[in-house]
Structure 1
Amino acid sequence: MPADAKPRALLPVRPILLLAVSFLSLLLIYAYSSFSPPPPSSGAATLALPAAVAVPLLPPSPPNPHIRMRRGAAFRSYDDYLRHQLNKTLDPRLRRVWATRDWRRKVDAFARLFDSLRADGLLSDASRALCVGARLGQEVAALRLVGVRRAVGIDLAPAPPLVVRGDFHAQPFPDDAFDFEFSNVFDHALYPDRFAAEIERTLRPGGVAVLHVAVHRRGDKYSANDLLDVHGLLGLFRRSEVVRVSKVDAFGLDTEVILRKKGSP
């Protein structure tokens, strides 16, 4: 450098790194939200989806002494109920948490769960699996991580490539479509009987459903029902037999219910 040349002002290294990390984080979130489902050749699950089924506002589910429907869950129309649920699903702050801080923690926890179910013979690599109410798809990511490649989730708001649009009161799938279904959103069901009936309809005979629920514990403001006793849930699955009911510690939920649809596989 010539003696009379003035040195260039240099930015401190730390601010540059912080700016780079912030930019990369925004880029990853954008890429995730706009990502399209991979083509069939990639080996990921591919399912043909029929048009969404509209569900009118129906009479309340039959009274059940073990399930308390929320007084605040009275809606003028089914669209009002859907909008209420989407307020949580599409909340930008929650979606950032689910996609970043919570992502790896939940994927790892679900992977341990699914590995234990595989060890018990309730799930296999060949299983066609559905996660009901999957939000951004941590459960689906965990299933694929442990080798269950034909796994997909449904939620009111899609999150490609893991979660497609679907209503658990009227699943957009044909009868007997899945070998395995998982859900931890029973408390969000406005029609608990229809929630259960749709799982049984889309499970093949011999298929397994795993549900994580909270018993005697009030959910958040988006919950449509409170489960007072596990028998309230078991009684809804008229075409299934109980495999196991056990205590778990699963992100605020305390009971795991495993059911098998009656009939030969």
Structure 2
Amino acid sequence: MESVAKQRSAKGLIVRLLLLGVCIVLLRFAYVVARRGGSCFSGDFCFFSPASEVLSLPGGVSHSEAAYVRIQDGLSLSGETRQLWTSREYRKAVEFYSAVFQDLVGEGFLSPCSKSLCIDSASGHEVIALKEIGITDVVGISRKKLQPLVLAGDIFHQPFANNTFDFVFAGGIDRTRQPANLAGEIARVLKPEGFLVILSTFAGDLYSLNSLEILFPSLKIIRSREIEVHDSPKLLREIVFQKANSIKIRYPIEDKPSIGGNLINKCPIPEHKLQLLRSAEPLIEEEPQKPWITLKKNIKNIKYLPSMTDISFKQRYIYIDVGARSYGSSIGSWFKKQYPKQNRTFEVYAVEADKAFHEEYASKKGVTLLPFAAWVRNESLSFVVNHDSEQKDDEKGHGMGRIRPAAALSDDLSSRDVHVIQGLDFAEWLKRTVTEKDFLVMKMDVEGTEFDLMPRLFETGAICLIDELFLECHYNRWQRCCPGKRSPKYQKTYGQCIDLFSSLRQRGVLVHQWW
């Protein structure tokens, strides 16, 4: 009997303890409902979560709204923020970035101990995704603050010390108008051997990918691939960079001239240049009888570089008209109206020595006049005023004949035929003005001096800076006034011009024939 009584007493004690536990849970639940408006978070001893709060993450992991509270280190969220973060579209974005970052973890580019930064993370998707996969030391920066995930700040002047982060994610570098400035700031805050990951809708071709890599001289591309976006037909380009321990220096690659050529190439000819050249329009190898008509036809066939590739990842956009003549000759009539600019604003330079055109440029905004003749040295030169019948009207000025040093003047020329001008070492000026980070388009019409300028551009390496060249090659062509008669102004033949164009393309220059 005594044994039975002891058993009943023990059972009663257990029941009372269980009832006490149930009461504690019920009281706690009542407190949560009263204080949180019915939301049940994982840290509140709840046995269930409302069905509307259960959200799916990559890998089949289920999270409630509590996941968002936990990543805030106990900081409370406003109802508006909580509603945003639990919306379906927001969760889809977080899931996408979570999958991207989990792949990077698996490949060793990211780890739980990586101090991480998300650039231009206005919505906080990327920061939340990193925290959900276990990256705790992460912050975002954007123009708009999203407390406490994203700091408000200038992404071009970030409030972080040099070499701060092991991992930087930049999903919007293709949206900025200053990609070079942003690239410099990213490289500054990234630690040596740290990783940068860029997601871009651009950089889908070799040219734009090379342009992007040039923005980061201290980083090297480790991998580039296309990734799918969930429930979307579009693809994104994922590029992984790693920062070197020391700055990478780009040395020019010298190339011996080919047989029959005299151009020494100091530029590499990478695959992205060869790809563009393979897509360019063919050269017109047979001499046209009426070149002034051929130009109008040929201009419709030109494969402009911006029509073949993306030019977004450039620091500046520059057009240089060498031998510009009047503003309407090519800047206003062709470049401004016809050249495809991909909505970019170009700096325009007009290189023109003839004073007859200078006054016109004074009133043209956005155009910088260089009142010199493009030449191989800085020295005084002469040019002969043309009086032949090919000059149609006075609007286009005198027209320049063959430029030569002043000492080479012929005795049979009267003073009214000769003008003394200042020659500019054009190749050296170009190297001081333009960098490989810039996008440079050039048109050159220099009255035969192209046969002097091209070797100089190659010799100095300045040719490497030109992305696209429109070149008029001057030869003893048929005259418009007199059928069957060639112009006596130039000694070169059309065959020599074709050799020049072919030599330029063989050395990686995207050059088009111009008349």
TM-score, reference length from structure 2: 0.30
Partner of 2:495: none
1:212 aligns with 2:199: yes
Q: Please tell me whether the aligned partners of residues 212 and 253 of structure 1 are also in contact (alpha carbons under 8 angstroms).
A: no
C-alpha distance in structure 2 between counterparts of 1:129 and 1:43, whole Å: 21
Q: Please tell me whether the aligned partners of residues 134 and 155 of structure 1 are also in contact (alpha carbons under 8 angstroms).
A: yes
Partner of 1:254: 236
2:208 is aligned, of 221, 225, 229, to 229
C-alpha distance in structure 1 between counterparts of 2:85 and 2:122, whole Å: 9
For residues 154-165 of structure 1, what are the structure 2 equivalents within 5 Å?
A: 154-165=141-152
Distance 1:216 1:194, change over 3 A: closer
Q: Please tell me whether the aligned partners of residues 129 and 150 of structure 1 are also in contact (alpha carbons under 8 angstroms).
A: yes
1:116 aligns with 2:100: no
For residues 89-168 of structure 1, what are the structure 2 equivalents within 5 Å?
A: 100-168=87-155
Partner of 1:172: 159
C-alpha distance in structure 1 between counterparts of 2:235 and 2:174, whole Å: 10
For residue 207 of structure 1, report the CA deviation from its aligned partner.
Answer: 0.5
Distance 1:147 1:98, change over 3 A: closer
Q: What CA RMSD, in Å, does the superposition of the two structures yield over aligned residues?
A: 3.0
Partner of 1:197: 184
Distance 1:43 1:205, change over 3 A: farther
For residue 203 of structure 1, report the CA deviation from its aligned partner.
Answer: 0.3
For residue 263 of structure 1, report the CA deviation from its aligned partner.
Answer: 1.1
Distance 1:194 1:140, change over 3 A: same
For residue 100 of structure 1, report the CA deviation from its aligned partner.
Answer: 2.7
C-alpha distance in structure 2 between counterparts of 1:124 and 1:43, whole Å: 24
Partner of 2:332: none
For residue 122 of structure 1, report the CA deviation from its aligned partner.
Answer: 0.6
C-alpha distance in structure 2 between counterparts of 1:99 and 1:234, whole Å: 37
Q: Which moved more, 1:141-150 or 1:169-178?
A: 169-178
SS of residue paired to 1:229: helix
Distance 1:234 1:204, change over 3 A: same
C-alpha distance in structure 2 between counterparts of 1:167 and 1:97, whole Å: 25
C-alpha distance in structure 2 between counterparts of 1:203 and 1:255, whole Å: 21
For residue 230 of structure 1, report the CA deviation from its aligned partner.
Answer: 1.6
C-alpha distance in structure 1 between counterparts of 2:144 and 2:235, whole Å: 23
C-alpha distance in structure 2 between counterparts of 1:120 and 1:43, whole Å: 32
User: Structure 1, unaligned stretches of length 5 or more?
Assistant: 1-19, 22-34, 45-95, 218-226
Higher alpha-carbon Rg: 2
C-alpha distance in structure 1 between counterparts of 2:123 and 2:171, whole Å: 14
Distance 1:110 1:120, change over 3 A: same
Distance 1:248 1:144, change over 3 A: same
SS of residue paired to 1:199: helix
Distance 1:160 1:228, change over 3 A: farther
Q: Please tell me whether the aligned partners of residues 182 and 210 of structure 1 are also in contact (alpha carbons under 8 angstroms).
A: yes
SS of residue paired to 1:124: coil
Q: Please tell me whether the aligned partners of residues 242 and 259 of structure 1 are also in contact (alpha carbons under 8 angstroms).
A: yes
Partner of 1:243: 222
Number of residue pairs the alignment of both structures matches: 169
> Which amino acid in the other structure matches residue 174 of structure 1?
A
Distance 1:228 1:241, change over 3 A: closer
Distance 1:98 1:194, change over 3 A: farther
SS of residue paired to 1:102: helix
C-alpha distance in structure 2 between counterparts of 1:43 and 1:97, whole Å: 18
For residue 228 of structure 1, report the CA deviation from its aligned partner.
Answer: 6.8
| TM-superposition CA deviations, 1:146-194 (whole Å, max 9, x none) | 0100011111000011111122211121101100000111122221111
Q: Please tell me whether the aligned partners of residues 99 and 136 of structure 1 are also in contact (alpha carbons under 8 angstroms).
A: no
| TM-superposition CA deviations, 1:6-55 (whole Å, max 9, x none) | xxxxxxxxxxxxxx99xxxxxxxxxxxxx9x95xxx499xxxxxxxxxxx
User: Structure 2, unaligned stretches of length 5 or more?
Assistant: 1-36, 39-68, 76-82, 247-515
2:168 is aligned, of 166, 181, 184, to 181
| TM-superposition CA deviations, 1:188-216 (whole Å, max 9, x none) | 22211111111110000000000001127
SS of residue paired to 1:116: helix
C-alpha distance in structure 2 between counterparts of 1:114 and 1:43, whole Å: 24
> Which amino acid in the other structure matches residue 211 of structure 2?
G
> Which amino acid in the other structure matches residue 246 of structure 1?
R
SS of residue paired to 1:259: strand
C-alpha distance in structure 2 between counterparts of 1:105 and 1:183, whole Å: 19
> How many percent of aligned residue pairs carry the same amino acid?
32
TM-score, reference length from structure 1: 0.57
For residue 249 of structure 1, report the CA deviation from its aligned partner.
Answer: 2.6
For residue 120 of structure 1, report the CA deviation from its aligned partner.
Answer: 0.6
C-alpha distance in structure 1 between counterparts of 2:185 and 2:193, whole Å: 15
SS of residue paired to 2:123: coil
Distance 1:236 1:100, change over 3 A: same
